[in-house]
Structure 1
Amino acid sequence: MVNPLVSIVIPFKDVDEYFEECLNSILNQTYKNWEVIAINDHSSDNSLAIANTFATKDARFKIYSNDESGIITALRKAYRHSKGEYITRMDADDHMTKDRIEIMVTSLIQKGKGHLAVGKVKYFSEKGVNDGYDRYEKWLNKLTASGDNFKEIYKECVIPSPCWMVHRADFEACDAFNPDRYPEDYDLAFRFYEKGLQCIPCTTTLHYWRDYDHRTSRTSEHYAQNYFLDIKLFYFLKLELQPTHKLVVWGAGKKGKTIASSLVEKDIQFHWVCDNQKKIGKDIYGVKLLHYSALKNLEHSKTIITVANEEEQVQIKSFFQKLNLKPAIDYYFFC
């Protein structure tokens, strides 16, 4: 199909300060065959009025109200009203480059179904971008440039939300916006990974992320660290661990203890290792901590690594290399 319709789904709530810039960035796209399905999630400011102004002037903007509440239910409603052959998401407080839709559509037409279009992203903020976001942006863009996003999916969300586009049939196969798991963008990334979609490498910045104090990802409990760990462990147990594998947790810090506690609660057997002499030999949650060298005697192991220190991660990689064990196959960094 020449110039297929693209559905851009947008949940919005109390973003009147930024919403016009967002919608104008869509209006100014070089690619013209799109529709915006925007869902008002009970805004108390002028966001709905701004959306309706755009809809009055251009029928491609279609505005609805959320019958329930929350981003996931808003996304579901938007998708139900969408008609496009391709689906993409947009956040109401961000803006896209004028060629984002055209670049993504072109790459998906060239590659066909089974592929996921992504693009580089750029954070911006009136107060300046903090070091954490800067590191995340550089890490994510490096993966996006090579299309190797899924190789490090257990570290952090590897799909630059909302800078992705996918064929409708593939989106349906990934269960669209149906799951209730938060963070919803990270959960969707895992479902893209589960269904074997291939990321199309992109070296172009297509999306600008706005950071500010009351952005939802900063204020909602649904984006707290424990939710990220829950999703990581859920999909790891579902997709990576087989009955013949010996499960290992490496690290006894906060994240390591959280994962260990969850495994004990699920009655899943595992070995727990670390390099902290003060913790080795201790019994925590009924599991004895061992020195990491115990891995040398464990065949068919799958190791979850919860050590965040970058220098220590380098040493851990070297240890596994000496054992001829491979990243994202035999061991997985969860931070």
Structure 2
Amino acid sequence: MLSHTLKYAYYPGCVAQGACRELHQSTIALTKALGIELIELKKAACCGSGTFKEDSQLLEDTVNARNIALAEQLNLPLLTHCSTCQGVIGHVDEHLKGCQKTNPAYVEQVNNLLQKEGCLPYRGTAEVKHILYALIKDYGLEEIQQRVTHKLTGLKCAAFYGCYLLRAQKSMPYEDPFQPEGMENVFRALGATPIYYRGRTQCCGWPLSSYATTQSFKMAGMHIQEALAAGADCMITPCPLCHLNLDSRQPEVEKVIGHKLGLPVLHLPQLIALALGISPKELGLERHIVSTKPVLEKLGILVSR
């Protein structure tokens, strides 16, 4: 058992409280079951999902320096559960920490803008960490394994890391950004079988979806088809934007590629929580566009009629 309670400044982001409310719901359920304390940063702003810098790098840095400063005020790590949020905020944190050494005038410029809005300054004292790596590095896979009450034996899980989680920051201290094993190791700890396929570390196509919809859906369809061909029962993602393109838009993807897919796509906290015995309803699994019933039936959680 852990000798102390883990505590984080929780940055839920926008999508997990809107189109993917089940992600916020399942994150709260999972952390509560594991005894992890979350203090939600209710005054935090949208990270911009990488769009702010198209207009101004200073804008992106200042908005997210404020988000980080909110966690610093609590003297806690900033916890994300969205790869895009992690990539953007983590990159800003990495950039500003570098500037503290090489270009302190830039950090001062950012803090002056924060001060004008009555915000606390960025100090560079907090760590920005995705829940995947908080669970692996801080909580521990052995500890999670001990808490499993419903082993996911026989379930074949295809990880979809996407791009932001792995390659938005210059330094990836937790694993190889091109050959990651973090999610697969989580699957093994839960009793599930990892499925490997080519597209698991590639872009889901979401960033293209607003101006090149067909190309975006073709990308998503290719990844889903590859996972199905490799024998996957489901796809697991650590990013709600990936989830939107892979699950919510899967019926539209099917029309574009001309093939039926029907692959359930789960959020990472949902999968872990199922292994801890948390009910599908508490995890919002009924909210998915592609039915999760085949996954629940395979696990014996839902009996087919």
What is the TM-score of this pair, normalised by structure 2? Answer: 0.29
Give the structure with the higher percent strand. Answer: 1
The structure showing larger relative contact order (alpha-carbon pairs under 8 Å, at least 6 residues apart) is: 2
Give 1 or 2: higher helix fraction: 2
Larger Rg: 1
